[in-house]
Amino acid sequence: MTVEAGVSVAKRVVGGSFLLEDLTPDDVFTPEDLSEEQRQVASTATSFAEEKILAQAEAIEEKDFAVTRELMRELGELGLLGVDVPEEYGGLAMDKITSAIVADNLSVSGGFSVTLGAHCTIGTMPLVWYGTHEQKAKYLPKLASGEWIAAYALSESSAGSDAMNIRTRAKLSEDGKHYVLNGEKMWISNAGFADLFTVFAKIDGEQFSAFLIERGTPGLSVGAEEHKLGIRGSSTCPLVLEDCRVPVENLLGTAGKGHHIAFNILNVGRYKLAAGTLGGMRFAFRNGVRYAKERVAFGKPIATFGLIQEKIADSAAAIYATESAVYRVVGAIDAALADLNHDSATYAQDVQKRIEEFAVECSILKVLGSEALERVADHALQIHGGYGYVEEYPAERSYRDSRINRIFEGTNEINRLIATGFMIKRAVAGTLPLMPAIKKVMDEVMAGPGERVSYDGPMAAERALLASAKKLALFTSGAASQRFGNDLGEQQEVMGALADILIETLTMESCILRAEKQRKANAPGVKLAKYYAMRAFRVIETAAERVLGAVAEGDMLRTQMTIFRRLAKHEPANAVILGREIAAAMVEAGRYRI
Amino acid sequence: MKIIVAIKQVPERDARIRIDSGNKWIDLEDVEFSMNESDAYALEEALQLKEAHGGEVIVVSAGPERAGKTIREALAKGADRAIHLQSSDETELAAYDALGVARLLAASIQDEKADLVLTGLQSDDLGLGQTGVILAELLGLPHASLILKIEVAGNGLKVLRELEDGWFQHIELATPAVLTIQSGNTKLRYATLMGIKKAKTKEVRVIAVADLVASDPSLKPTAPSVVLDQVKLPHKQRSTQLLGGSPAEAAAALVEKLQFEVRVI
Ligand SMILES: Cc1cc2nc3c(=O)[nH]c(=O)nc-3n(C[C@H](O)[C@H](O)[C@H](O)COP(=O)(O)OP(=O)(O)OC[C@H]3O[C@@H](n4cnc5c(N)ncnc54)[C@H](O)[C@@H]3O)c2cc1C
């Protein structure tokens, strides 16, 4: 189905409500729903990635930043750096799906993708959302055209996850014309060649604030490049600020409100990171599949071996699942933004508030995408055998490049804590009716075995798994809060396990809805959705067991395990046959194709 | 210069091809479509000429509603407006052979009085290589085929034509003229996001094939002179060829094959 661009096809759902709502396929956005315009953008991005970025993969990897800058300038000319920038400042002001498509389809080089992400998202968005008219007019056209490159400097050597604890200080000069900054920043992407830095510092050691600092400002110096495991084509350097005088008009946003900037940007950074992992996965996958077709062992192409096919199927399902979740969530964000008035004075704040509503989903996508990419890259390497371990083949680079995604934009530990933590916060505050839902499930399970609901259609079995997953999520959350109450936040392992349940529930639901939306029992996505649902449910079972083991003992534990087994009861489908069928289709295509 | 580019929507290169039950064509369900490759080069030549010398680029395409996607892609790349000669379904145009289709195209663009009409050399699906040449005859215009490059020279054009075995021919011809364009001589541009956004606002004149035929009964499909009897998938085979002679001779032979047979260098 193709719809008119700009017309949102997803239902306006409340952020974080996925455990509570039963959606129909028509309620969600899927990659198959891309408008013609969005498909054209995808096509431009894909061609650019294949013909320009991949062609320069070696130069990028060798940190030939002249090449990187030239590619950025070309992207700017095409408009690909300005998707989220307002038109009056040289951008295109397109929807968030389009912005995700660009991040997705341009990602064939981990190093270059980091340059791009640091520029377009954390580098540019603070200015888009918090800049004054003068600041935006001065800098945004240059950033949208790629003439200037942006960087975002929050982390310090002793403050990463704990970002509010930064030590960089700012002090207003006596004449009131400058802020004088002192301190250091660490791990700053693009720092080696960026022209504009968004730097966070505390005014008088207290007011957390952001400043726009141009390269070449006296007192700002950029340290040496870090020697990294992966994404070697990106620039990562420390900054030193030594009596760095920043004009007062370069304070970004309000003094003391810099944390709003930092947190709101992160939500976008997270879903865009997840979108970017998609391109990386498809690239690693196709290299693995093509190798599997060509490599002969024991007289046969290794693609004919079951354990190779299993890796291919698992990878394809991971890509399908991440696509389903990313486009569903970003589609829901677009639906949430659809009725905002662009001309309103509070438009930027309104957008952030609506996106913030989906903070749980953004954290989920970040963890999902980074871990799926790592799995796909790992499978691709393993398929290559010894050749996967050497630089001559791209599998090695994909593997090294994937690793960073679990660390930046909030480590996966932090994002798991956020996913569960925010959910609980909303439940406690009553902004999401989770408490009544938990109570209902508790009552239901305590009442003993009830009637099992049966479902129809090609995804009937998976629908049943999904219903169980949602109940398990509510049941385990209920059990954990009963046991730990307000101290649940301190039980990180339990929070992490609950996050796993949330992640897999959202993802398996996204797969099921997408497969159903294709309305064909034999649609290629149906098999992938089924395959992923099985895997997701295994993860959920394991996590639920971990939670229950930690919250109860003795008779209580026995009762809870009885409930758990009842809820989790299902007959496994034949994953072996399904996996072979999926692998056969992918091997035939020589890439990820559905 | 007013330039018309005829473009055709064809199944994508790596589409999953299945023969339909009648063995007369491929099963179009689940097939993705794209712009015929040499037509994309024709469009690129037209856009470059317009950029250098001003004027207007109009694309014309005959096909069902789905061809609108390819038309808008051309508009996104920079064509100014379009004429969509729209068939009511997948079969209406199948009743025409190349002569019939060229007649329809000629009828739909005649009034434009273009200075230059470009088509691709041949279509990736049928590969007849006829439509452009016949179109020239119907429009009463001179034509040249297999064109790699077009330059404006005086009141006419100077074009580069590909011959066989690495030979080329330079031709000068007067406008108006029809040229059929060979792929591969230039880099195709990407649609910019601005172009994609603007494409929506550009004019696409839709002419129903049936209406055109009603206005001119001579355009009715006649018994086609060529019919497609049967289509089948090519037999997959691998063959190895050993290039003999001295190393220098073998290398020369290899270069030639890479250049002209496989066309990768
Ligand atoms: C290549 C690269 C590029 C980067 N680019 C940028 C950039 O452009 N701009 C920028 O500002 N920063 C950037 N960073 C910094 C990055 O965001 C941080 O490294 C990240 O936030 C982690 O912080 P840290 O390194 O201080 O680790 P720490 O915060 O010290 O974490 C160490 C470990 O402890 C865990 N941990 C920390 N706190 C908790 C907790 N409360 N509960 C449980 N576990 C916890 C973490 O998950 C991690 O496993 C980049 C980093 C790298 C490596």
> For A123-154, what is each residue's pLDDT tens digit?
999 999 999 999 999 999 999 999 999 999 99
pLDDT band at A405; cut points 50, 70, 90: very high
DSSP type of residue A172: E
Ligand 1 atom at shortest distance from the alpha carbon of A154: 11
Q: A17-148 has which fold?
A: Butyryl-Coa Dehydrogenase, subunit A; domain 1 (1.10.540)
Render pLDDT for A431-467 as a digit per residue (tens, 0 to 9).
999 999 999 998 888 887 777 788 988 999 999 999 9
Pick the CATH number of B2-234 from 3.40.640.10, 3.40.50.620, 3.90.25.10, 3.20.20.370: 3.40.50.620
Answer whether A320's CB lies under 8 Å from A369's CB.
no
pLDDT of A301 above 80: yes
pLDDT of B263 above 80: no
What is the share, in percent, of chain B residues with pLDDT greater than 70? 100
Supply the residue whose CA is at minimum distance from atom 30 of ligand 1: A160
Going A234 to A235 to A238 to A244, the CA torsion angle's sign is negative
pLDDT of B236 above 60: yes
AA identity, residue B150: I
Top-level CATH class of A432-589? mainly alpha
Tokens of A25: 């396929």
Hey, what's the torsion of the CAs at A121, A124, A125, A127, to 10 degrees? 160
Contact residues of ligand 1, CB 6 A cut-off: A 118, 152-155, 160-162, 187-189, 228, 236, 404, 407-408, 411, 413-414, 492
pLDDT reported for residue A92: 96
Hey, what's the torsion of the CAs at A188, A194, A196, A202, to 10 degrees? 20
Bridge partners (DSSP) of residue A493 are none
> Which segments of chain B are extended strands (E)?
2-6, 9-11, 33-35, 56-63, 81-86, 116-120, 143-153, 156-162, 168-174, 177-181, 204-208
- From CA B114, how far away is CA A134, in angstroms rounded? 48
* pTM as predicted: 0.93
DSSP letter for each residue of A492-514? HHHHHHHHHHHHHHHHHHHHHHH
Top-level CATH class of A152-252? mainly beta
Three-state SS at B115 = coil
Residues B40-64, mean pLDDT to the nearest whole number: 97
Q: List chain B residues with CB under 8 Å of A43.
A: 73, 191
pLDDT band at A240; cut points 50, 70, 90: very high
DSSP type of residue A435: H
Angle at Cα A106 formed by Cα A314 and Cα A512, nearest 5°? Answer: 35
pLDDT band at B30; cut points 50, 70, 90: confident
Ligand 1 atom at shortest distance from the alpha carbon of A156: 26
- From CA A194, how far away is CA A116, in angstroms rounded? 12
Query: Which of B18, B186, B190, B233 to substitute to test the interface with A, most A CBs within 10 Å?
Result: B190
Mean pLDDT of chain B: 93
Instruction: Note whether A260-413 and A432-589 share their fold.
Output: yes
Q: Which CATH superfamily is domain A260-413 in?
A: Butyryl-CoA Dehydrogenase, subunit A, domain 3 (1.20.140.10)
Q: Does A40 touch chain B (CB under 8 A)?
A: yes
Mean pLDDT of chain A: 95
Supply the residue whose CA is at minimum distance from atom 52 of ligand 1: A187
Three-state SS at B62 = strand
DSSP type of residue A156: B
Q: Give A217 Cα–ligand 1 centroid separation in angstroms.
A: 27
Domain ranges (residues) in chain A: 17-148, 152-252, 260-413, 432-589
CB atoms within 10 A of CB A521: 10
Residues of A with active-site annotation: 409
Query: Who wins on pLDDT, B187 or A519?
Result: B187
pLDDT of B213 above 70: yes
Render pLDDT for A59-80 as a digit per residue (tens, 0 to 9).
999 999 999 999 999 999 999 9
Render pLDDT for B98-110 as a digit per residue (tens, 0 to 9).
999 999 999 999 9
**Closest residue of A to B15, CA-based?**
A589
Ligand 1 atom at shortest distance from the alpha carbon of A413: 47
Nearest CA-CA distance, residue A426 and chain B, Å: 39
Query: Which of A2, A40, A286, A593 to substitute to test the interface with B, most B CBs within 10 Å?
Result: A40
Q: List chain B residues with CB under 8 Å of A37.
A: 196-197, 199-200
Going B31 to B35 to B39 to B41, the CA torsion angle's sign is negative
DSSP type of residue A410: S
Q: Give A159 Cα–ligand 1 centroid separation in angstroms.
A: 8
- From CA A587, how far away is CA B235, in angstroms rounded? 19
CB-closest option in B72, B192, B194 to A36 = B72
Render pLDDT for A181-220 as a digit per residue (tens, 0 to 9).
999 999 999 999 999 999 999 999 999 999 999 999 999 9
- Please answer yes or no on whether B193 and A80 come within 8 Å at the CB atom: yes
Residues A412-419, mean pLDDT to the nearest whole number: 98
Answer whether B40's CB lies under 8 Å from B9's CB.
no
pLDDT band at A3; cut points 50, 70, 90: very low
- Please answer yes or no on whether B73 and A94 come within 8 Å at the CB atom: no
- From CA A426, how far away is CA A423, in angstroms rounded? 5
Domain ranges (residues) in chain B: 2-234, 239-265
pLDDT reported for residue A8: 57
Q: Give A547 Cα–ligand 1 centroid separation in angstroms.
A: 27
Render pLDDT for A456-511 as a digit per residue (tens, 0 to 9).
889 999 999 999 999 999 999 999 999 999 899 999 999 999 999 999 999 999 99
* Chain Cα centroid distance, residue A140: 25
pLDDT reported for residue B229: 87
Tokens of A166: 């930064």
Q: List chain A residues with CB under 8 Å of B194.
A: 79, 92
Query: Which of B72, B186, B193 to substitute to test the interface with A, most A CBs within 10 Å?
Result: B193
Going A250 to A251 to A253 to A258, the CA torsion angle's sign is positive
Residues A518-541, mean pLDDT to the nearest whole number: 92
pLDDT band at A4; cut points 50, 70, 90: very low
Answer whether B49's CB lies under 8 Å from B152's CB.
yes
- Please answer yes or no on whether A77 and B192 come within 8 Å at the CB atom: yes
Q: Does A82 touch chain B (CB under 8 A)?
A: yes
Q: List chain B residues with CB under 8 Å of A80.
A: 193
Three-state SS at A136 = helix
Q: List chain A residues with CB under 8 Å of B16.
A: 589
**Closest residue of A to B73, CA-based?**
A40
- Please answer yes or no on whether A44 and B197 come within 8 Å at the CB atom: no
Tokens of B32: 């993705």
Nearest CA to A473 among A510, A449, A512, A506? Answer: A506
- From CA B47, how far away is CA A104, in angstroms rounded? 29
Residues A34-46, mean pLDDT to the nearest whole number: 96
Alpha helices in A430-552 (DSSP H): 434-446, 460-484, 492-517, 524-551
Strand pairing class (A300-301; A196-203): unpaired
CB atoms within 10 A of CB B243: 13
CB-closest option in A40, A82, A589 to B191 = A40
Q: Does A80 touch chain B (CB under 8 A)?
A: yes
DSSP type of residue B260: I
What lies within 8 Å, CB to CB, of B100 at 6+ separation is B219, B221, B222, B224
Of A165, A213, A227, A408, the residue with max ligand 1 atoms within 8 A of its CB, to mutate for a pocket test, comes to A408
Bridge partners (DSSP) of residue A241 are A183, A220
pLDDT band at A111; cut points 50, 70, 90: very high
Q: List chain A residues with CB under 8 Å of B193.
A: 41, 44, 78-80, 82-83, 92, 94
Q: Does A37 touch chain B (CB under 8 A)?
A: yes
